[in-house]
Amino acid sequence: MLPNDSLTRRELLRRSTLVLTGTLLSADTILAGQAPASAGAANPALIEDLVAASRILAREGIVDAFGHVSVRHDRDRNRYLLSRSLAPALVTPEDIIEYDLDSNPVNANGRALFSERFIHGEIYKARPDVNAVVHAHAPSIVSFSVSTIPLRPIYHMSAFIGEGLPMFDIRQAAGMTDMLVSNGDRGRALAQKLTTKTAVLMRGHGVAVVGPSLPFAVGRSIYLELNARIQGQAMGLGGGVTYLDPEEARKVIESGENRSYERAWELWKRQVSGQR
């Protein structure tokens, strides 16, 4: 017996909807209606600082066309703010998207999302003390991510390295991959490696740097890259290298890490103001 024509059409429609749903969900977007509820508008000053952070990191060469910075939402600790997929130097307040901690967007409105946003969401879940996260492929840090030579604090500005930083090798966490932290499982594995530290190196990829605020996360990113560059140069001189003793590093931090980056933040913000 031939199938009823109208049933066949309905079945075809159902099947094409399923295919479409699968395509949309796998393509870094989420269907309208499934978006989590918004925590409400974030403080405009926080959005301005996030935009400035993005532009500062680009100006300092920590990020280029790739890399990103996020901040925890000031009205809900289970939400964070991150720009749409865009070169950091081009970010404006209109590009900022709100996410839940599973990295589902609240208000994407069809905009492209960073595939590695899970770095941010999973770190905010694991680290209640963290309110800002930077992910970068800063070149001198990448050198140390593939070397057996550990990155160590070379001067007082990078005392936050302490006794060293953990290394995340995505191959150990997820086997052979495209190297990207592009799902919750990989993000969780990265956050577990970070433990209580200020940053985690990512083998053959880059780094995730955290802080209690944007100035700390941005400042640490800048001085971590500088430390890597200086350490490489010092080692290249050929003699021995004297690093900060762990006790010296601890005393620097106890006396106020780089004066909470307040002076630097004022300068860096000024340098990127008027760029838009």
Maximum C-alpha span of the chain: 88
Rounded to 10 degrees, the C-alpha dihedral 16/19/23/29 comes to 70
Per the residue annotation, which of 98, 116, 225, 257 is the catalytic one?
116
State the distance between the two ends of the chain, measured CA to CA, in whole angstroms: 68
φ, ψ dihedrals at 85, nearest 5°? -65, 110
If DSSP codes are grouped into helix, strand and coil, which group holds residue 228? helix
Sign of CA dihedral 212, 217, 220, 224: positive
CB 244 within 8 A of CB 252: yes
What CA–CA distance (Å, rounded) separates 177 from 186?
10
For the record, the structure tokens of 209 come out as 């740097």
DSSP state of 91: -
Beta-strand relationship, 167-168 and 199-202: parallel
- Is residue 116 part of the annotated active site? The answer reads yes
Active site residues: 116
